[in-house]
Amino acid sequence: MCSPQESGMTSLSARMLTRSRSLGPRAGPRGCGEEPAPLRRREAAAEARKSHSPVKRPRKAQRLRVAYEGSDSEKGGGAEPLKVPVWEPQGWQQQLVNIRAMRNKKDAPVDHLGTEHCYDSSAPPKVRRYQVLLSLMLSSQTKDQVTAGAMQRLRARGLTVDSILQTDDATLGKLIYPVGFWRSKVKYIKQTSAILQQRYGGDIPASVAELVALPGVGPKMAHLAMAVAWGTVSGIAVDTHVHRIANRLRWTKKATKSPEETRAALEEWLPRELWHEINGLLVGFGQQTCLPVRPRCQACLNQALCPAAQGL
C-alpha cells in the first residue's frame, strides 16, 4: 500500500507522460497551424542563406567582332582609306635634290633636242601630235642629236600622215638615216601612219593601250606621247638611262633586268607628282654625269650616297 507522497508522485508522472504523448515529436505549435519557434528560425536562416547566394545562370556565348575594310560604296564620305606602308629606297629624297642641283643648267642634249623640241609648234594640233609620235619612234636606240636631224629633214618636206604615205620607202630611208635600225623604222612608220589614217582620222590614239598596239611603239614611247602630245601623265617613261640610274641608286626593291620592269618598280613607290619630271631629269643626268661607261662619280654630288659608287 503506497503512502500519500508516493501516490502524488505517481499521479504527476502519469500526467507528464500523457502530455508528452499528446504533443508527439512533431506536434503542432501553439496557435493556428504554426511550427515551433526553433524550427521557424532554422528555416528562416536557411532561406536567408539561399537568397544571398549568387544565382548560377548559363554563360552567354561571346561573339567575336571582325571589322572588314568596306568598299568605296560602303564607306562614308569622311572615311579615310587605310594607309599601307610602302617600301622606298633609303635617302632617295636627298639623292633627288642633288640630281636637280646638278641639272639646274638644263644643258644636256635632251634639254634642247628631246621630243618636246622636235615638232612644229605652229602646225595644227593633230599634226603636232603625229610629229611627236614620229620623233619618239625615231629616237629608239638613237642619240638625241641624230633624232633631231632626221626630224628636221622630214619637216622640211612637210611632215604629215599623208606626206609620209606618199613617200616611197627608199626616200624615207634616206631622210631618217642614220637613226638606229632605220630600215625597220621605215616599215614601222609606214604601217603606223596607214593605221592612223584609217582608224584615227590622221590623229594619234589617246591611250597607252592603243599606242603600244601600233607597230614600232613601245611603252616608253607611249607614256612620253601621252605626256607631250596629250598632256596626260600615264606612267613613268623609262629608257636605258633611267633604267641604268635607278639600278645604280638602288631605287628598285631588287635589281631589274629591263626598262619595263624598272618602270613598274618605280611606280610602286615614287610619288605620282614626280612621274612627269623624272624621265628628263635622269636622262640628262645619264648623258652628262652617270654615263653608261666610266661614270663621272668624282663630280657627282651623290658619290657618298650612291651604292654603286662605293664599289667603283
Q: What are the structural domains of the chain?
A: 92-106+237-299 (1.10.1670.10), 109-230 (1.10.340.30)
The per-residue pLDDT for 80 is 61
| Whole-number Å distance between alpha carbons of 182 and 193 | 16
Element holding 42 (H helix, E strand): helix 37-52
Q: Using one digit for the tens of pLDDT, what is the confidence trace for 125-142?
A: 999 999 999 999 999 999
DSSP 85: P
Percent of the chain with pLDDT over 90: 71
Is 231:237 a contact under the CB 8 Å cutoff?
no
Is 169:190 a contact under the CB 8 Å cutoff?
yes
CB contact set of 204 (below 8 Å; sequence gap of 6+): 129, 130, 132, 133, 196, 211, 225, 229
Is 305:94 a contact under the CB 8 Å cutoff?
yes
Is 270:236 a contact under the CB 8 Å cutoff?
yes
What is the rounded end-to-end Cα distance, in angstroms, of the chain? 146
Query: 189 phi and psi, to 5 degrees?
Result: -65, -40
Query: 58 phi and psi, to 5 degrees?
Result: -65, 135
The per-residue pLDDT for 38 is 52
The per-residue pLDDT for 264 is 97
| Whole-number Å distance between alpha carbons of 97 and 101 | 6
Is 196:164 a contact under the CB 8 Å cutoff?
no
The per-residue pLDDT for 305 is 97
| Whole-number Å distance between alpha carbons of 179 and 172 | 12
Q: Which three cell numbers stand for residue 277?
A: 619630271
| pLDDT, averaged in runs of 10, over the chain (312 residues) | 48 46 45 48 56 55 47 51 78 98 98 96 97 98 97 97 98 98 98 98 98 98 98 97 98 97 98 97 98 97 95 68
| Whole-number Å distance between alpha carbons of 230 and 244 | 27
The per-residue pLDDT for 12 is 45
Q: Using one digit for the tens of pLDDT, what is the confidence trace for 204-216?
A: 999 999 999 999 9
pTM (2 d.p.): 0.73
Place of cell 560602303: 74
DSSP 63: P
Active site residues: 220
Radius of gyration, alpha carbons of the chain:
48
Q: How many residues does the chain have?
A: 312
| Whole-number Å distance between alpha carbons of 110 and 112 | 6
The per-residue pLDDT for 4 is 46
